[in-house]
């Protein structure tokens, strides 16, 4: 199978920029909370003042000034027309945009080698460094270099940069680098014949109506400029704060731009609603702002998406589809194209002594704005109350006088974050006797066998159920009359916490002990279930019961199914007394993001809800010769191998139009597990829609595509380790299409549906 580079680019452009639904109106009442968080930051002397502007759907919906723009030598109130030193916002707004203006003119390409435009870069390192590397901070250049390298002008600075040792090979590490954008600014000048300040003014700012944006602002504007830091010659005001930019006469690719919120609102409008007559074209903006994987994060050509520099995204703006940037002086902007919203926060946090900190307040402002966007109403009208909350509300009456063994880990906690261990240890008329921990240990952070230990806070013994034994022993249960189970499940058959539940129930049955299960949501929903059933002779710790791979039950419902269907070691039905403390406010159709509960890693490598959704399908690959992202920052959201043709694989999978998902080629080097420390070609898997995404269809489609493109490279033999269904394995091995393979499960799933209906605890209102 061969695909032209043009076809690849066209397909990837489409999948990274899906059609968006009509934007919903913003709740302006919620934006009033901005006042409180900004004033708190001023009161704590984190910033002297700020101006905040929010645009949404083409309108300014919030614009206010707070505090003072100057504290020394005299106090001056902040006004909404204050002009700020934007610091590193210069990078995307002036330099990045200018680069793409030259791309539009046919004078530059992101794939150009830097040395093509700066031939004095003669060091061998520059043979492979491209404009794309500079734009995404993956060139290998260090973050900065000595100020002395700039004192004799740009020509000498480039000579010094040519002598720098790279911190990593190009493309192998993300290092936010001023040097790269200084070079990009010089490339703009040499390519256009105009200095960066004049080119950006004539080609971008003036066409957009940004009349007060530029480098080295004129004296007439000085009174409106927010001063920055006190230096030996006085307080900087209208002179760029960045010392390298100052040595370059105030004009540089990494810093030096000044602007106001009103001017930046015009720029933001161009990004959110492109006008081909002004600024950049829609095609340029799409390419410039497309999320691109970098080691340990995501960037665009100039903007930040998801890295350690993303604090101004806040807590609620989506990762990957939103982007922005910060400036050292206390400035920031963040875009959410889907809702046509931008948050502009301008402060001079370095005034007067350089000790301020705008990071927390920028985060809080963005979070408030994101919370006000649209009416994305979840099906759950209020926060879910898991079983521990109900038990607590009842003052632990169900455990009065009980001698308890608690099976739990870090995920067992109430809605305020107090652990179930502490709650039961301090509960009235309850004697907590011992703790039992599942795979990954009592704190959920161990990725190996777990030994017995002692809980430091309570002094209680901790018996591991993922070490020498998988089931509590009779000796460990001595004196215990009730076993309480409180662990967050992941909704997948081969996730071992459910096996631990079943074995605990067996042990309780043998000893005549009661089992109390504190229920929690199925994070990937309780309505859908799919995948092959386990072959009857294949029971194991990763396949404890006859379930489809995605089982669609809560942990409480699973316990009811086990009690109904399982037999103990003696061959008799389980005889333990089971009680489930059901949740309140949970609906079967709800995913975890509708629960109102904090996401806690159920285990070390299920770090996001997206990973939990992908786990039933992508997780099937991990026993084969494919890395599923363990040892990267995105386990189960990425998979790869050194032998993989990730471009061909992405094209084939994206051509299938699988519901709610898209694939992007990304190279990564896992630090552990399969292919540790080896560069792997792979695919990042993006879920666009929780509601339509089908983990098992996706997983089997990936297996089909691997078999089609890599029939010899992919070692399929061990694929059945977690799948545990020979009919499905044989179908994948034979190259049958995934849509045909899904049909093989229909009869078993219909029978499973009848079984599960007997034990369901929660409604489906949809």
In a domain, 604, yes or no: no
**Looking at residues 452-456, what average pLDDT do you find?**
85
Together in a domain, 119 and 266: yes
Is the pLDDT assigned to residue 13 strictly greater than 50?
no
Q: Kindly list the distances between the CA atom of residue 249 and the CA atoms of 196, 240, 351, 408, in Å, as whole numbers in the listed order.
A: 12, 9, 22, 62
Same domain assignment for residues 273 and 343: yes
Does the N-terminal peptide bond of residue 532 adopt cis geometry, omega within 30 degrees of 0? no
What's the CATH code of the domain at 666? 3.90.1150.140
- Assess whether 348 and 438 both reside in one domain: no
| Beta carbons of 669 and 713 less than 8 angstroms apart | no
Looking at the fold, whether 392 and 257 belong to one and the same domain comes out as no
Q: What is the pLDDT of residue 419?
A: 93
Residues 573 and 620 in one domain: no
pLDDT at res. 259:
98
**Quick one: average pLDDT of 432-442?**
88
Residues 46 and 162 in one domain: yes
What pLDDT score does 445 carry? Answer: 54
Which pLDDT band, with edges at 50, 70 and 90, does 448 fall under? low
In a domain, 641, yes or no: yes
| Residue 516 and residue 482 in contact, taking contact as beta carbons nearer than 8 Å | yes
User: In the β-sheet with 514-518, what is the strand arrangement from edge to edge?
Assistant: 453-454, 461-464, 431-437, 403-408, 482-486, 514-518, 578-581
Backbone angles phi, psi at 662, to 5 degrees: -145, 160
CA distance 657 to 490: 26
- How far apart are the C-alpha atoms of 652 and 706, rounded to whole Å? 10
Is the residue at 742 inside a domain? no
pLDDT at 10 over 70: no
Same domain, 337 and 393: no
pLDDT of 416 reads: 85
Q: What is the CATH number of the domain that holds 114?
A: 3.40.710.10
- My answer on whether 474 and 366 are in the same domain is no
Residue 698 has pLDDT above 50, yes or no: yes
**Other C-beta atoms within 10 Å of 529: how many?**
21
pLDDT of residue 26: 87
Mean of pLDDT over the chain? 91
Nearest to 293 by CA among 686, 689, 671, 701: 686
Query: In terms of domains, do 588 and 617 share one?
Result: no
Q: What is the pLDDT of residues 200-219, one digit of tens each?
A: 999 999 999 999 999 999 99
Query: Average pLDDT, stretch 131-158?
Result: 94
Same-domain pairing of 586 and 614: no
Q: Which domain holds residue 711?
A: 609-724
- Compute the average pLDDT of residues 150-172: 93
Looking at 560, 592, 624, the residue that finishes a domain is 592
- DSSP-assigned letters across all residues of 26-51: B-TTGGGHHHHHHHHHHHTTS-SEEE
- The number of distinct structural domains making up the chain is 3
> Quick one: how many helices (H) and strands (E) in the chain?
25, 26
- On whether residue 12 sits in a domain, the answer given is yes
Confidence at 5, pLDDT banded by 50, 70, 90: very low
Of the residues 371, 395, 411, which one is the last residue of a structural domain? 371
> Would residue 747 count as lying in a domain?
no
Tokens coding 119: 């031939």
Q: Does the residue 735 lie in any domain?
A: no
What is the pLDDT at residue 1? 36
**What is the reported pLDDT for 298?**
85
Shared-domain flag, residues 312 and 423: no
**Rounded to whole angstroms, how far apart are CA atoms 379 and 118?**
57
pLDDT of 19 over the 50 cut: no
447 in a structural domain: yes
What number is the average pLDDT over the span 217-233? Answer: 94
Rounded average pLDDT over 304-311: 90
Region 83-103 average pLDDT: 97
Secondary structure of 289-330 in the HEC alphabet?
A: CCCEEECCEEECCCCEEECCCCHHHCCCCCCCCCEEEEECCC
Residue 447's pLDDT band (cuts 50, 70, 90): low
Distance (Å) of CA 385 to CA 388, 675, 762: 8, 42, 13
In the prediction, which pLDDT does 25 show?
74
Residue 112: exposed, middle, or buried by beta-carbon count in 10 A (0-12, 13-18, 19+)?
A: middle
Within this chain, do residues 324 and 421 fall inside the same structural domain, yes or no? no
> Quick one: pLDDT at residue 593?
83
Pairing of strands 461-464, 297-299: unpaired
Model confidence at 503: pLDDT above 60: yes
Instruction: Report if residue 495 sits inside a domain.
Output: yes
692 CB-contact burial (10 Å; exposed 0-12 / middle 13-18 / buried 19+): exposed
CATH classification of the domain holding 420: 3.40.50.12170
pLDDT band at 765 (very low <50, low <70, confident <90, very high): low
């Amino acid at each position: 199978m061969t695909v032209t580079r043009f076809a690849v680019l066209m397909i990837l452009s489409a999948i990274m920029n899906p059609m968006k639904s009509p934007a919903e109106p913003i709740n302006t009442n919620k934006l009033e909370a901005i006042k409180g968080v900004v004033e708190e930051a001023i009161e704590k002397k984190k910033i002297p003042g700020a101006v905040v502007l929010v645009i949404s759907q083409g309108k300014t919906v919030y614009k206010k000034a707070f505090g003072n723009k100057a504290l020394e030598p005299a106090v001056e109130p902040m006004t909404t027309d204050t002009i700020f030193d934007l610091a590193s916002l210069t990078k995307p707004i002036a330099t990045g945009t200018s680069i793409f203006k030259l791309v539009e003119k046919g004078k530059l390409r992101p794939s150009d080698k830097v040395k093509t435009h700066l031939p004095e870069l003669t060091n061998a390192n520059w043979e492979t460094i491209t404009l794309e590397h500079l734009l995404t901070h993956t060139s290998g250049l260090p973050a900065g270099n000595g100020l002395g390298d700039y004192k004799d002008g740009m020509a000498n600075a480039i000579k010094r940069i040519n002598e720098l040792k790279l911190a990593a090979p190009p493309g192998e590490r993300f290092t936010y680098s001023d040097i790269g954008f200084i070079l990009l600014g010089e490339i703009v000048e040499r390519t256009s014949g105009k200095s960066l300040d004049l080119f950006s003014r004539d080609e971008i700012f003036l066409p957009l109506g940004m009349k007060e944006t530029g480098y080295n602002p004129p004296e007439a504007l000085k009174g409106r400029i927010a001063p920055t830091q006190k230096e030996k010659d006085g307080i900087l005001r209208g002179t760029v704060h960045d010392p390298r930019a100052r040595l370059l006469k105030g004009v540089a690719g990494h810093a030096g731009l000044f602007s106001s919120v009103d001017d930046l609102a015009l720029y933001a409008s161009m990004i959110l609603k492109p006008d081909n007559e002004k600024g950049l074209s829609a095609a340029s903006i799409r390419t410039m702002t497309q999320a691109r994987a970098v080691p340990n994060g995501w960037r665009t050509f100039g903007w930040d998406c998801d890295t350690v520099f993303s604090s101004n995204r806040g807590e609620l703006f989506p990762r990957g589809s939103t982007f922005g940037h910060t400036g050292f002086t206390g400035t920031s902007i963040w875009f959410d194209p889907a809702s046509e919203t931008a948050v502009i926060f301008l402060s001079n946090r370095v005034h007067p002594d350089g000790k301020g900190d705008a990071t927390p307040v920028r985060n809080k402002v963005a979070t408030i704005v994101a919370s006000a966007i649209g009416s994305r109403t979840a099906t759950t009208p209020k926060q879910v109350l898991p079983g521990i909350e109900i038990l607590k509300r009842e003052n632990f009456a169900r455990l009065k006088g009980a001698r308890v063994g608690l099976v739990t880990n870090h995920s067992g906690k109430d809605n305020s974050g107090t652990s179930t261990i502490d709650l039961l240890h301090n509960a009235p008329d309850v004697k907590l006797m011992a703790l039992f921990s599942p795979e990954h240990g009592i704190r959920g952070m161990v990725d190996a066998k777990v030994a017995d230990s002692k809980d430091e806070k309570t002094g209680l013994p901790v018996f591991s159920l993922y070490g020498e034994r998988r089931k509590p022993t009779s000796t460990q249960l001595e004196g215990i009359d009730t076993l309480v189970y409180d662990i967050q499940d992941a909704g997948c058959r081969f996730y071992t916490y459910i096996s631990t539940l079943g074995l605990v129930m067996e042990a309780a049955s043998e000893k005549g002990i009661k089992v109390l299960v504190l229920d929690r949501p199925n994070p990937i929903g309780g309505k859908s279930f799919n995948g092959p059933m386990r072959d009857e002779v294949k029971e194991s710790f990763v396949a404890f019961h006859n379930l489809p791979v995605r089982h669609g039950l809560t942990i409480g419902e699973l316990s009811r199914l086990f009690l109904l269907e399982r037999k103990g070691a003696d061959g008799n039905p389980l005889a333990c007394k089971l009680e489930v403390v059901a949740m309140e406010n949970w609906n079967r159709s709800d995913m975890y993001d509708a629960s109102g509960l904090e996401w806690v890693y159920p285990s070390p490598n299920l770090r996001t809800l997206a990973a939990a959704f992908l786990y039933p399908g992508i997780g099937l690959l991990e026993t084969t010769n494919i890395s599923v992202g363990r040892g990267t920052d995105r386990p189960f959201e990425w998979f790869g191998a050194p032998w993989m043709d990730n471009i061909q694989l992405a094209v084939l999978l994206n051509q299938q139009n699988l519901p709610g998902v898209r694939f992007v080629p990304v190279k990564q080097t896992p630090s552990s597990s399969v292919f540790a420390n080896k560069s792997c070609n792979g695919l990042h898997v993006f879920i666009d829609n929780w509601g339509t995404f089908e983990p098992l269809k996706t997983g089997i489609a990936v297996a089909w595509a691997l078999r089609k493109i890599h029939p010899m490279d992919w070692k399929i033999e061990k694929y059945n380790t977690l799948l545990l269904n020979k009919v499905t394995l044989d179908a994948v091995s034979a190259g049958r299409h995934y849509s045909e393979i899904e049909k093989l499960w229909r009869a078993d799933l219909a029978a499973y549906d009848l079984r599960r209906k007997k034990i369901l605890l929660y409604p489906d209102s949809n």
